[in-house]
Amino acid sequence: MVRPLYSSLIPNNGSYPLMSRYWPILPAAGVGRRMMADRPKQYLLLQQRFLLDHTLECMLSYPDFEQVVMVLSEDDPYWPQSDFANDPRILRANGGAERCHSVLNGLAALDGLATDDDWVVVHDVARPCLRHSDLDKLFSVLVAPGAILATPTRDTMKRGVIVDSSGKVRIDHTVDRVQLWHALTPQVFRYAELRDALTTCLAQGYEVTDEASAMEYCQQFPLLVEGRADNIKVTRPEDLALAELFLTQDR
């Protein structure tokens, strides 16, 4: 079992180094319009459970996670039906207008609980197929300023350009895929560094779509850690069947 890394001496009355803890944050306030469903995608049924509950089961059963921050819409009508709605290990925060605002709200919920050097583990709630082995791999190489799970691009990549008002797209050129990676989650950073990076981005009008982008904007460049390709994000209706297939395999 992987244990949390020691930080570079967090003050503890000047005597002992404290162990940095891991704090998962799961943004779950989105509406998932591309799913074309009657509810947000995190509440679609997957093997007779909410998709969200599969993700939470993975996170809460990982030995080094004691609590999980769920960032939910303030008036979320589905959460009370979750398997984990009354679990004392869940800390709830209100969602924001965009993902970056929601993650900042999740960080604010940890004020007074997390130290500046603790690690924040941001994971897409719509990735229910995450395995503990990928968490082990990610944490085993974790150093400042952080790291993210990712997979190397295997397909031939094309850059497209819109050619007319109907939205038709033609190929502009083929992109060299050698240095291209698909960003996954979790993405892991020091609590204070991620908070400051997101705050800086928003103050300068840059709404990032993932946490690593905020770190990059502040000239901090996380590690890419190769994860499993079955750690898919459920975004479109056909993804549900694929996620169900992966969930039949042992974590």
Say how many residues make up the chain: 251
What pLDDT shows up at residue 249? 81
pLDDT at 32: 65
What is the overall mean pLDDT for the chain? Answer: 90
- The mean per-residue pLDDT over the stretch 140-162 comes to 95
Task: Assess if residue 175 is contained within a domain.
Answer: no
Range of the domain at 210: 22-148+183-247
Share of the chain above pLDDT 90, in %: 83
Judge whether residue 69 has pLDDT over 60: yes
Is the CB of residue 138 less than 8 Å from the CB of residue 188? yes
Residue 112, in any domain of the structure: yes
pLDDT (mean) for 71-97: 96
- Mean pLDDT in residue range 29-41: 78
Q: How confident is the model at residue 16 (pLDDT cuts 50, 70, 90)?
A: very low
pTM over 0.85: yes
**pLDDT for res 250:** 64
Report residue 171 CA to chain centroid gap: 31
pLDDT at residue 30, rounded to an integer: 79
Q: Is residue 154 part of a domain?
A: no
Token digits of residue 180: 């291209």
- Whether the CB-CB separation of 220 and 145 falls below 8 Å is answered with yes
Distance CA 215, CA 200 (A): 10
* Domain membership flag for residue 177: no
Please answer whether residues 89 and 69 qualify as being in contact, where contact means their C-beta atoms are separated by less than 8 angstroms: no
Residue 157 lies in a domain: no
Establish if 65 belongs to a structural domain. yes
pLDDT for residue 35: 72
Q: Quick check: is 5 in a domain?
A: no
In a domain, 123, yes or no: yes
Look at the chain and report how many structural domains it folds into.
Answer: 1
* Rounded mean pLDDT, 115-121: 97
- CATH code at 62? 3.90.550.10
Average pLDDT over residues 11-37: 71
Query: What pLDDT is stored for residue 235 in this prediction?
Result: 92
pLDDT in tens, 179-203: 999 999 999 999 999 999 999 999 9
